[in-house]
Structure 1
């Protein structure tokens, strides 16, 4: 399955998938608002007019941030997370970003495994970032191997 770029017109489908993946999902209006910004991109793997996996990223100067990523629980373990992540990395690298970072809940072992498998390294921690309880782990990956020179 191939990850394709999606627009704010997919906000309802993005919100529906996000609700399947997270306890505190974002509404469609949040996806639409973020995607109205030229620095924000989204990629999804779709089947039968629904999203199975998505990633939303924002580019700032030579750095990109993963705002959210999710895979339908019924389709996990099929490398869809890696596919949307790879597609996002290619796009932001082509836009001039030389690194990508994200925050992940310290207790989200499947996501941490995905990021590690994709070449991300833990570089920091934000104490009590999630609901004032759980720490966020900060992960980063250099995209220079994707052909960027940094010049």
Structure 2
């Protein structure tokens, strides 16, 4: 993605980004059901075959990130987060679109994710961009909070396509 110096920019996650990812995670995920990830957690996941991700910056400031794990034709959206002060500007859907487009270019035909049943903002975003419920995990998160499982077919349509709005 190209943008001016003040617009949003996406870049692939590299092996030296784990401390930044841990800091972003700490600032993005603050609900009772969120589980903390540290630099080692990120290093372990990013070392797995099929792991990929992107950091989202506005100007020179990182404001979000997303990580996926792909196996053949399915991709799991493991994490996607935008700092609270940057939310509401369409950055989350833009980041998700980029992650899913990258996965589709690597052969993914289906995307999966899970979200805390209490996370209404995330659920609204996922529903708006074409994800549908495919399951539920009872008391999966602390709280105890259920996880709702979502899926979406990947094809040539981008998630910002008007057909999903």
TM-score by length of 2: 0.83
Contact (CA 8 Å) 1:3, 1:83: kept in 2 or not?
A: no
Name the structure 1 match of 2:15. Answer: 8
Runs of 4+ in 1 over 2 A off after TM superposition: 47-51, 144-147
- What's the offset of the Cα at 1:140? 0.6
Structure 2 gap segments, 5+ residues each: 1-7, 159-165
For the residue of structure 2 that corresponds to 1:77, the secondary structure is: coil
Aligned counterpart, 1:57: 68
Q: Does 2:84 correspond to 1:73?
A: yes
TM-score by length of 1: 0.90
| Matched residue, 2:126 | 115
| Alignment check: 8 A CA contact 2:72 2:108 kept | yes
Q: Give the Cα separation in 2 of the matches to 1:82 and 1:122.
A: 18
RMSD after superposition: 1.7
CA distance in 1: counterparts of 2:16 and 2:42, whole angstroms? 9
Structure 1, residues 115-135: CA drift from partner, whole Å, max 9, x if none?
A: 112111111111111126111
Count matched residues. Answer: 147
Determine helix, strand or coil for the equivalent of 1:70. Answer: strand
Q: Is residue 82–residue 91 contact of structure 2 (8 Å, CA) maintained in 1?
A: yes
